[in-house]
C-alpha cells in the first residue's frame, strides 16, 4: 500500500508560482508512474501532468503546458509540480497519484491517491 502526502499548496496572486511536493511511503517508489491531477468545485478531476517511472518522459495537459513542470527524485521518494504563471482557472485541489504502470495519464489508471492540497489563485 503506497501512502502519498502532498504539500506546498496555498494562496497566490495571479502570475505567481508555487511548488507542490508529494512524498511517498513506498520503498519501490521508483517503479511507479506518478501523476498530478486537480479538481475544482463542481468539476470532475482532471489530468495535469505525469512522469514515467524512470523520470525520462513527461506528459502535460494542454492547459498547463509551458507553465507547469513535473519532476521526481527517486532517491527521496518524492515527485514535484512546479507551477508558474498561475491564473485563477488553476484554482483547485491538487492530487498526487501513483500508478503501477510505466506511465499513465488517466484517472482510472492510478492505483493510489493522496489527500490533496488546495491551490487558490487570486486575480
For residue 121, the model assigns a pLDDT of 98
30 SS3 class: helix
Other beta carbons less than 10 A from residue 12's beta carbon: 17
Q: Are 70 and 10 in contact (CB under 8 A)?
A: no
Provide the pLDDT for residue 100. 92
Express each pLDDT in 86-118 by its tens digit: 999 999 999 999 999 888 999 999 999 999 999
pLDDT in tens, 7-49: 999 999 999 999 999 999 977 888 899 999 999 999 999 999 9
Q: Cα separation of 122 and 15, whole Å?
A: 9
Write phi, then psi, for 31 (nearest 5 degrees). -95, -5
Amino acid at each position: 500500500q503506497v501512502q502519498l502526502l502532498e504539500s506546498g499548496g496555498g494562496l497566490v496572486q495571479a502570475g505567481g508560482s508555487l511548488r507542490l511536493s508529494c512524498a511517498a511511503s513506498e520503498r519501490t517508489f521508483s517503479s511507479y508512474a506518478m501523476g498530478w491531477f486537480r479538481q475544482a468545485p463542481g468539476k470532475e478531476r482532471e489530468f495535469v501532468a505525469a512522469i514515467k517511472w524512470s523520470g525520462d518522459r513527461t506528459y502535460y495537459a494542454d492547459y498547463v503546458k509551458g507553465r507547469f513542470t513535473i519532476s521526481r527524485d527517486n532517491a527521496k521518494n518524492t515527485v514535484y509540480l512546479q507551477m508558474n504563471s498561475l491564473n485563477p482557472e488553476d484554482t483547485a485541489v491538487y492530487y498526487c497519484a501513483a500508478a503501477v504502470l510505466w506511465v499513465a495519464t488517466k484517472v482510472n489508471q492510478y492505483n493510489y491517491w493522496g489527500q490533496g492540497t488546495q491551490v487558490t489563485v487570486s486575480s
